[in-house]
Amino acid sequence: MKLIINLFKLVFYMIKWVFQTIVFVVFVAVCAFVYARYIEPELLIVHQEVITSRTLSVDAKSLKIAQFSDTHLGEDYTIKNLKKTVAKINEQAPDIIIFTGDLIDNNKEYEETEAITRELSALKAKICKVAVYGNHDHGGNGTRRYKMIMEGSGFILLDNSSYIVELEANQKINIMGIDDLLLGRPDIKKTTRNINKDHYNIFISHAPDVADELKAYPIDLQLSGHSHGGQVTIPFIGSPLTPPYAKKYIKGMYTIEGSERMQLYVNTGLGTSQLKYRFFNIPQITVFNLKPQ
């Protein structure tokens, strides 16, 4: 009889443990869902990077570059979010502002062109504001619209072209921007036609994986977005879903093997696309402090 009672107790405790485990797992899953859907996408951080380079003249002053990317304006990332981003960038007092593409998520459905232009016009850069096309900037008759918005906001839109920034101490920075690799007409040779090994060369591409095709060029820094940092990162597994041309380089700083001086930085972006979630990929602005070595 005692054995039967003990057996019933054991079964009872096992059922209780299983039930408590299920409740805990469900609770964690609900919390993770709420955080990924409603909390993390609304966060905004400023990530700082210090870059030293022998290419920069010793007499040159340090340069501050602010990068933002992948706003995907729409139902989830709104004008209100963009306004907050603009204010945060202006707080950094950057010399150069760079946008690495994907302004509007769905060009066919989104209509607030004037509001976007107004907010982007409020961005203040001491030297210049530069942008390139992302894949979403070409879809739904977006090519002309994106060009109109960016140029109307004071941005220099680089489309397989470059822009030379002349600094003190006879220092020049060459900013090159390539068209989107997915839906644009990218041309590396055309984009790099003004490259000079004595300049500090910045290559802007919405898609990061083009970096492996640039090893032979004297590029110092490539800036990209597109990946959203994987958007959803699973602990101990990583980011299972990344778009084409963002399979190898997903987020953060990379040193490109086979190149003498090239670094690549992939920004995690600000908005969401496809999946309306962010998990362990907080929306970010990146500020680069370029200094002579």
Q: Other C-beta atoms within 10 Å of 152: how many?
A: 15
Q: Are residues 21 and 75 in the same domain?
A: no
Per-residue CA distances from 79 to 69, 84, 99, 215 (Å): 15, 9, 16, 38
pLDDT band at 59 (very low <50, low <70, confident <90, very high): low
CATH at residue 210:
3.60.21
Split at pLDDT 50, 70, 90, the class of 28 is: confident
- Which residue type does 193 have? R
Residues 219, 286 within the same domain: yes
1 and 80 share one domain: no
Q: What confidence tier does 78 reach under pLDDT thresholds 50, 70, 90?
A: very high
Looking at the structure, do residues 32 and 112 belong to the same domain, yes or no?
no
Same domain, yes or no: 177 and 112: yes
Tell me the residue length of the chain.
293
230 CB-contact burial (10 Å; exposed 0-12 / middle 13-18 / buried 19+): buried
Residues 3 and 100 in one domain: no
Give the residue with greater pLDDT, 140 vs 83.
83
* pTM given for the model: 0.93
The answer on 57 and 26 residing in a single domain is: no
Q: What would the two tokens of residue 103 be?
A: 């302004």
Residue 171, pLDDT score: 86
34 and 51 fall within a common domain: no
CA distance 103 to 90: 19
Assess whether pLDDT exceeds 90 at residue 203: yes
Task: State the residue range of the domain holding 1.
Answer: 1-42
DSSP for residue 49: E
Rounded Cα gap, residues 158 and 132, in angstroms: 5
Look at 92-96, 106-110, 165-169, 282-286 and tell me which has the smallest mean pLDDT.
Answer: 165-169
HEC letters along 17-38: HHHHHHHHHHHHHHHHHHHHHH
**pLDDT digit string, tens, across residues 226-257:** 999 999 988 878 888 899 999 999 999 999 99
With the C-alpha atoms ordered 215, 219, 225, 226, is the resulting torsion angle positive or negative?
A: negative
User: Distance between CA 196 and CA 67 in Å, rounded?
Assistant: 23
> Token pair for residue 102?
């994907």
Spatial contact of 127 and 96, defined as CB atoms under 8 Å apart: yes
- Residues 7, 62: one domain? no
**Cβ atoms 215, 259 nearer than 8 A:** yes
pLDDT band (50, 70, 90) for residue 140: confident
Q: What is the DSSP letter of 36?
A: I
**Contact by Cβ (8 Å): 279, 40:** yes
Percent of the chain with pLDDT over 90: 73
For position 148, what pLDDT does the model report? Answer: 96
Asked if the model's pLDDT at residue 177 lies above 70, the reply is yes
Q: How many domains, in total, are found in the chain? A: 2
| Residue 91 and residue 147 in one domain | yes
Say yes or no: 211 and 96 in one domain.
yes
Q: Are residues 26 and 73 in the same domain?
A: no
